[in-house]
Chains A and B, each alone.
Chain A
Amino acid sequence: GENVEQHPSTLSVQEGDSAVIKCTYSDSASNYFPWYKQELGKRPQLIIDIRSNVGEKKDQRIAVTLNKTAKHFSLHITETQPEDSAVYFCAASIVDFGNEKLTFGTGTRLTIIP
């Protein structure tokens, strides 16, 4: 089955700096890569996702890049703000009719230092 590794497990950055979280996956058939943000005591919420037919996607201060050859994808947060502090999870899936299970990474606890 799919295996997703996520690094680093904790990350502290100064407010206004950028944060980068990296994930690798094992199954070359995976074609969908979402990122979820989970604040303390809350549910995971989707913040951005990417399909394997694109290499990069941006949404305001967040972006995701995908390297299919190397089987890794990354989350980039620019101009970080205190409200970005949370645990971030990457995931990988084969999105296909009849088969859609996410395999999650172990999470990155991001702390923004004011």
Chain B
Amino acid sequence: NAGVTQTPKFRILKIGQSMTLQCAQDMNHNYMYWYRQDPGMGLKLIYYSVGAGITDKGEVPNGYNVSRSTTEDFPLRLELAAPSQTSVYFCASSYTSGTQYQPQHFGDGTRLSIL
């Protein structure tokens, strides 16, 4: 099991460019999440998904889009990158079904700088 895999690990973008952060999990988890972590700060939820085809906004969704076409993949799209989006982005997944629960497991993160 690879767990949660994020690509790329590092990326530098110019203001106004777009990119997609990839996230894949092989644990058959139904929930997937995207967080951002600014330097010295906690984790803020951007978007999450409870299953394929279903996504919902978190605390800080502006400037981002997501899709969930399969159980395994949950890409995060940045349109028109802005310096305020410079951050470390973490993808996570978990499993919830009735009384069964597997807690959130995080990927290694993508460090994104917008210059």
Chain A residues close to B by CB (< 8 Å): 32, 34, 42-46, 49, 89, 95-98, 100-102, 104-107
Contacts of A45 in B (CB 8 A): 106
- Say whether, besides A49-B103, A102-B104, A97 and B97 are in contact (CB < 8 Å): yes
Q: Chain A contact residues: over half helix, strand or loop, or mixed?
A: loop
Contacts of B97 in A (CB 8 A): 97
Chain B residues close to A by CB (< 8 Å): 31, 33, 41-45, 48, 50, 58, 90, 94, 96-98, 101, 103-109
Contacts of A32 in B (CB 8 A): 101
- Report the Cα distance A94→B45, complex, angstroms: 15
Cβ contact of B45, chosen from A95, A98, A101, A106, cutoff 8 A: A101
Contacts of A96 in B (CB 8 A): 96
Contacts of A100 in B (CB 8 A): 31, 94, 96, 101
- Report the Cα distance A101→B42, complex, angstroms: 15
- Say whether, besides A34-B103, A44-B43, A107-B42, A97 and B98 are in contact (CB < 8 Å): yes
